[in-house]
Amino acid sequence: MELRDRDGLARICRFRNVETPALMPVVNPNKIVISPREMMDRFGIQAIITNSYIIWKTPRLRERAMEEGLHRMLDFPGLIMTDSGTFQQHVYGDVEVKNKEIVEFQRDIGSDIGTMLDVFTEPHFSEEEVKRAIDETARRGEEALRYKGDMLLAGPIQGSIYPNLRRYAAKLMNRLNFDYYPIGGVVPLMEEYRYSEVAEAIVIAKKYLNPSKPIHLFGAGHPMFFPLAALLGVDFFDSAAYIKYARDDRLLFPHGTVHLRDLKYPPYFSPVLERYDLGEVKSMPKKERTRVLSEHNLYISVEEIKRIKQAIHEERIWEYAESRAREHPMLLKAYRKILRYRRFLEKFEPKSRKGAFFYMGRESMQRPFVLGVKRRLRNFPSRRMVVELPRPWSANLGTIPKDAAVKTPFGEVPLELEDTYPFAQSEFPWDEKMNVPENYESVSYEEFDVAKIRAIADFQFGKGAADALFSGKIKIMKSKNTGKIRNVIVDGEHVVSLRAEDGLFTLKIHGAIRLHRVFEFPRMRIVVDPDSAEFNRQGRNVFAKFVLRCDPNIRPGDEVLIVDGSDTLLAVGRAIMNCWEMRHFTKGMCVKVREGIDRPKSGLVK
Ligand code: GUN
């Protein structure tokens, strides 16, 4: 996987020419309704999934697949994943194929991603049964890995409804080092709208699996659940829902399902319903109608993935998932369950986003992002005076009070953080009050400017940062247009620039030198391999495969210090992964370097 874009745990990656999150429609080689070629050409589908067991047990298909290979047989040049007979074994009882045999078969017909024969775990299974299934899956997994050849192999994470057993399965399977991790055993939960148990299974799997491996949700089904799954970092969704629902005359929409007979005003654009009159569709012969409805269903599913990607790109996935979660009580329950894992999720949270923080209900304040904000506010001792102020805070005052905090939904915030994310960049559905004592001790505007840069430094980089960065003769440069602080020069050295959009600093190499001197190893550090060091000194980006160690507190979007094995400073830049991810990814960039120690860039921000 190569990380391309992200928002929290949600991510856009590249995996073998496929951009994720991606929908893998299920193709039954015996009953093709929309051909794989059409899926690619008309719906932009880059990956499909089919069942190798069905091919294996159908002599005609088996021979063709062995002769021509899977890609030619299905006429699909994209990525093809194959499932084993697990689900069939589970639903219909005995499956005559063995694990080794089906893995070798998938390999021999040229599947891109094959699946071992895992043991399905049902929601009604006892803990003992589930544990046994997981152990047997792991045992077969070891065997499957020996026969996979060059094919990528998927190792499903089972665990039914038991969080402790999901964790057990994830740890066990992670140790075996599969190429790809589906989350299994969730179809019966999905069918009963037990989304919170599915969400919990995903979070736990994510927590214990290598973050550089693709995560797949087996039988994700309805697009209603896609946003919450993507929020948790699911990369692939397979779904037969587009065809299954069509056979029952049901239409998928992002918010739910509508039976054809009840559909009068189609709420979303669909090229299919655009082309046919609704009455015409209703009176079509069954076969033709199924085809038309499955096209609609596939289109809506693909569209939902696109909306999700756009939300990730805009860094609004939390708002998007939260608004979608309001469309079904069971989704809301799932969202609330997800929020219980906010301590883990916070490790992926940036300190600011492109857009403002939107309050959309009481759950908003439980988002992992808020946890991070509250933690960073603890870097400040409590203030002498707490006031209530409409924004912009200091502009609503004649003079600046000394040592004041402002009451906000995030907690009591030092007045100096008035331009900093999220205090200035957040929207709440209530009016802001003004409540300031009459006679207060005030400070001059010059003093306030210095207090501001100091508060931002301690908020962003932690306690001690202000002392390290700003000891010396401070010169604060402001924008001629807006009057806002832009650059801070200390003893003639450009130390930081202040970003207008989020009121946080970008660190210059002189600022990095100061923090590096004062902050003890490994704080803010990323230790790189000697092979990378020379390049980074010259200002080149850091690639994840060269990271040897890092500060576990690093979050995506953080300013970081690049050092070599003896903690010599090489460069300063902005992380795009957290430390855990950097240590696991073997492809792609993990720090965008701003300046190398050998190639400092001047550049005051106007
Ligand atoms: N399809 C849907 N669920 C599962 C599962 O748990 N395992 C496998 N192999 N395929 C599935």
Domain ranges, ordered by start, for the chain: 2-241, 357-443, 462-596
Contact 349, 555 (CB under 8 A): yes
Is domain 462-596 annotated with CATH 2.30.130.10? yes
Atom of ligand 1 nearest to the CA of 120: 6
Q: How many CB atoms lie within 10 A of CB 77?
A: 13
User: What phi and psi values does residue 450 have, to the nearest 5 degrees?
Assistant: -65, -40
Instruction: Output the CA 184–ligand 1 centroid distance in Å.
Output: 5
Query: Which of 7, 83, 458, 564 is labelled catalytic?
Result: 83
Question: Does ligand 1 come within 6 angstroms of the Cβ of 238?
Answer: no
CATH of domain 357-443: 3.90.1020.10
Question: Does ligand 1 come within 6 angstroms of the Cβ of 219?
Answer: yes
pTM of the predicted model as reported, rounded to 2 decimal places: 0.97
| Omega of the bond leading into 552 within 30 degrees of 0 (cis) | no
Question: Does ligand 1 come within 6 angstroms of the Cβ of 88?
Answer: no
Identical fold for domains 2-241 and 462-596, yes or no, is no
83 is catalytic: yes
Residue appearing with tokens 């949270």: 349
**Which three-class secondary structure state does DSSP give residue 296?**
helix
| Omega of the bond leading into 522 within 30 degrees of 0 (cis) | yes
Atom of ligand 1 nearest to the CA of 183: 6
Distance, CA of 500 to CA of 486 (rounded, Å)? 8
Take atom 9 of ligand 1 and give the residue whose Cα is closest: 86
Residues of the chain with pLDDT under 50: none
Atom of ligand 1 nearest to the CA of 158: 6
Question: Does ligand 1 come within 6 angstroms of the Cβ of 185?
Answer: yes
CATH of domain 2-241: 3.20.20.105
Return the best residue to mutate from 103, 134, 218 for the ligand 1 pocket (most ligand atoms within 8 A of CB): 218
Tell me the β-bridge partners of 400: 443
pLDDT of residue 94: 67
pLDDT of residue 161: 98
pLDDT of residue 182: 98
Take atom 8 of ligand 1 and give the residue whose Cα is closest: 86
Distance, CA of 385 to CA of 402 (rounded, Å)? 8
Question: Does ligand 1 come within 6 angstroms of the Cβ of 290?
Answer: no
Question: Does ligand 1 come within 6 angstroms of the Cβ of 535?
Answer: no
Question: Does ligand 1 come within 6 angstroms of the Cβ of 235?
Answer: no
Contact 421, 502 (CB under 8 A): yes
Question: Does ligand 1 come within 6 angstroms of the Cβ of 84?
Answer: yes
Instruction: Output the CA 573–ligand 1 centroid distance in Å.
Output: 42
Distance, CA of 525 to CA of 563 (rounded, Å)? 7
pLDDT of residue 273: 86
Residue appearing with tokens 């200035």: 424
Take atom 6 of ligand 1 and give the residue whose Cα is closest: 184
Report residue 339 CA to chain centroid gap.
14
Return the best residue to mutate from 82, 87, 99, 236 for the ligand 1 pocket (most ligand atoms within 8 A of CB): 87
Instruction: Output the CA 279–ligand 1 centroid distance in Å.
Output: 38
